[in-house]
Amino acid sequence: MNPVNLETIGSVLPEDADQALLIGRVWDPETGGPRVVAVSGDSVFDLYRLAGTVADLLELPEPAATVRSALANPALAERRWATSDVVNASLAGDGAHARLLAPVDLQVIKACGVTFVDSMVERVIEERCAGDAARAAEVRDLVGRALGGSLADLRPGSAEAAEAKRVLMAEGLWSQYLEVGIGPDPEVFTKAPVLSSVGLGADIGIPAFSSWNNPEPELVLIATSRGQVVGATLGNDVNLRDVEGRSALLLGKAKDNNASSALGPLIRLFDGSFTLEALREEEILLRVEGQDGYVLEGRNSVARISRPFEELVAATHGRHHQYPDGFALYTGTLFAPTQDRDVPGQGFTHKHGDVVTIRSRHLGALVNRVGPCEELHAWSFGLRELFNYLAKQRQEARA
């Protein structure tokens, strides 16, 4: 993989990094496995003596306070790397040096879909086109005229939403995407297997069977086994519009492929100066830069989400479903690209070599390059490898 160029480390960390409590995972070539780390200023601290996995760390009674305390105690937090070295190695795809991984490990990767009206309309268009990008402009105009923008202020599950459903059904325009967009129940699905997500600087994959696809810049909530949201990160919920548009029953094929889930750069833990409330107004910026000189920019304004975070979390976790190791929850995207890239009327689709940057003020920047799923590094480090690595580290620590 060719290196991804950014001017400074400050381009990756949050704007207020000096106040942020940042944790994640680093691949450590010296020990041959992942280490739980905290990033503070120009230093990356190994937290292995505190927790072997991020899931273990987040299950502590007060994870934020515990990490802050550990950073003042060399017996618990060992400074092992320079932040700039780790970030640079990550962006360069340098496997010989310590680099950032996706900042979760044992957590299940869940995702919510159709949580913004704008992207909901695009899903309707995908369905109406049956995955044919050439028909998108025509159908977009048809659906836009029928909806008249009247769905923007609807509260999902409300009496007004039920009336809108009745009218749309009468017009022959009702869709399964409108059902989860304004109906009583949100869409929640499993995005990716445990340990399969990629991190900062890694390639993200588009399979050969897709010819209409796009990035999905999203806020990702990090929750414990109790369903308590303790932090957040950025994510790219890579979307194959042609596959999902043919049938919602192909959601797994559209969403779960090699390197189709990117998370990072780090988890920002909630503490006194940063809370869930700060994220309700977060602006998530997207920039796609192609090797052909093409540039696409977009914005995901979290304030325009149609369902509150609490509703999405409650639909994911509760008496109906538990996650003993916690979960990461993609919260959906407002962004649905309609800007033409090549052929007029066919909108945007990825090309190999595209550099995708997803950035927000409080969470930093997640940067990845697009490549073919079939040619990327195969996912090989799974649960057995992780457990074997952790057992070996414990044995060596006792020796």
Q: Which residues of 80-92 are buried (b: 16+ CB within 10 A; e: fewer)?
A: bbebebbbbbbbb
pLDDT at position 158 is: 81
DSSP state letter for 170: H
Which residue did the predictor score with more confidence, 176 or 308? Answer: 308
Which pLDDT score, from 0 to 100, does residue 9 have? 57
Q: What is the DSSP letter of 75?
A: T
pLDDT bucket at 81, cuts 50 / 70 / 90: very high
pLDDT of residue 54: 98
Q: What angle do CA 340, 343, 349 make, to 5 degrees?
A: 55
CA atoms within 13 A on the CB side of 345: 9
Q: Is the pLDDT of residue 144 over 70?
A: no
Q: Distance of alpha carbon 155 from its chain centroid, rounded?
A: 25
Answer whether residue 286 shows pLDDT above 90: yes
Q: What pLDDT score was predicted for residue 398?
A: 84
Q: Which residues pair with 179 in a beta bridge?
A: none
CA separation, residue 236 to residues 82, 103, 202, 265, 338 (Å): 26, 13, 12, 11, 18
The confidence score (pLDDT) of residue 151 equals: 59
Angle at 166 between CA 165 and CA 172, to 5 degrees: 85
Beta partners for residue 198, in sequence order: 262
Tokens encoding 341: 């890239």
Structure tokens at 371: 């490549």
Residue 338 in this model has a pLDDT that exceeds 80: no
353 or 161: whose pLDDT is higher?
353
Lowest mean pLDDT across 69-83, 103-117, 144-158: 144-158
Query: Can you give the pTM of this predicted structure?
Result: 0.90
pLDDT of 1 reads 47
How many C-alpha atoms does 93 have within 13 Å on its Cβ side?
14
β-bridge partners, 188: 112
pLDDT (0 to 100) of residue 74: 93
pLDDT digits (tens, 9 = 90+) for 206-233: 999 999 899 999 999 999 999 999 999 9
Q: Is 353 a residue whose pLDDT tops 90?
A: yes
Is 129 a residue whose pLDDT tops 90? no
